[in-house]
Amino acid sequence: MADHDSLEHRLAEQGISRRAFLKFCAAMASLMALPPGSAVAIAAALAKAKRPSVIWLSFQECTGCTESLTRSHSPTLESLIFDMISLDYHHTLQAASGFAAEKSRDDAMQAYYGKYLLLVDGSIPTKDGGVYSTIAGRSNLDLLHEAAKGAAAIVAVGTCAAFGGIPMAKPNPTGAVAVSDLIKDKPIINISGCPPIPAVITGVLAHYLTFGELPALDELGRPKAFYGETIHDHCYRRPFYDQGKFAKTFDDEGARNGWCLYELGCKGPTTHNACATTKWNGGAGFPIEAGHGCLGCSEPNFWDAGSFYAPLPAPSADVTTIAEVAAVTGAAAAVALSALDRAKKKRAQQAHEKLTVKDL
């Protein structure tokens, strides 16, 4: 392919072989739980993709999301994929500064009107006319409305942009809100997490480049492929939960044995994210593997949902008693139903008319 602007060509220039590229595509396909054949489709689409323009706006945030994306997997193919889109504006990463920087954003918005992807991290303060966070003298509120107008889709990166996050935590002095609270007329993907898993960010972008549409989303606007199940569902400590083996303090026998952290406040059972499977730092591990419970950072209001160390609510009555009553009731019903079935079978046996050769 002589298309010098194509992704595949750019990758080749940077010493990324086609084999490595295809491996990335297959990994993306499996990560997003797409059918196996999709790897080829992804490869074909990405190879031809013409670096769509991306504008990244950072509002009330800590730059952790950018850190997550750029650092954790760098310099793997994933970060290069990100290089390969045309990142026309990004506070932290752009070389330009001052008026030049603002001009490049304006130029991109004009040149790719209706086509560019808008990535937002950080929440947007709305109180007092949005004066609590400004860039080049303009409020975040103003910038977001302006940039959203010409965007093909908006990706809210991180819990702040997706759900308001820490800036929105009580008492929310700046009146911070999420992107979806302000923009109602554009497709929005929420990639929540504080910060989100880098592969999830690149995965969603790859999906968009491949299929030209947003992936399937859950009721909170998060891609189902990554947020479809809870941390608890896939936690390697789950067998201990099922056996009722819990660490009671962070330095007891149970903690040393790697037992379940439920009683130490782990929010894994109510948190939807891919940490337990995709993991962090190039697959090195995730918080529970380091001995700390999940904080639930990819869920709305996680900062205000009570202590990180208070266990999630459990059934109020004694579980053993409930189980015993249920078992006895169930067994009684089963005995009664099976007696009916037995009687039916017996009737059928009594009604059996012996088959003779004459019946044939």
| Nearest by Cα to 33 from 173, 224, 211 | 224
Residues 122/59, Cβ–Cβ less than 8 Å: yes
Q: Which is nearer to other proteins, 95 or 348 (CB)?
A: 348
Strands 134-135 and 138-139: antiparallel
How many of the chain's residues bind other proteins (CB under 8 A)? 15
- Please tell me whether residue 280 adopts helix, strand or coil conformation: strand
In the window 227-246, what residues touch other proteins (CB under 8 A)? none
351 binds other proteins (CB under 8 A): yes
Q: Which is nearer to other proteins, 44 or 326 (CB)?
A: 326
Residue 180, both tokens: 């979806």
**Where are the extended beta strands (E) located within 122-250?**
124-125, 134-135, 138-139, 151-157, 176-177, 188-191
| Nearest by Cα to 78 from 183, 199, 176, 172 | 199
Q: Which is nearer to other proteins, 314 or 360 (CB)?
A: 360
| Nearest by Cα to 221 from 189, 178, 196, 265 | 189
Q: Which is nearer to other proteins, 316 or 349 (CB)?
A: 349
Question: For the chain, how long is the longest CA-to-CA vector?
Answer: 102
Q: How far is the CB of 224 from other proteins (least distance, A)?
A: 23
- The Cα–Cα gap between 94 and 43 comes to 28
Q: How far is the CB of 335 from other proteins (least distance, A)?
A: 14
Q: Which is nearer to other proteins, 93 or 331 (CB)?
A: 331
In the window 331-350, what residues touch other proteins (CB under 8 A)? 337, 341, 344-345, 348-349
131 binds other proteins (CB under 8 A): no
Q: Which is nearer to other proteins, 2 or 360 (CB)?
A: 360
35 binds other proteins (CB under 8 A): no
- What length does the chain have? 360
Q: Which of 4, 170, 184, 352 binds other proteins (CB under 8 A)?
A: 352
Query: Which residues in this chain contact other proteins in the complex, by CB under 8 A?
Result: 337, 341, 344-345, 348-349, 351-357, 359-360
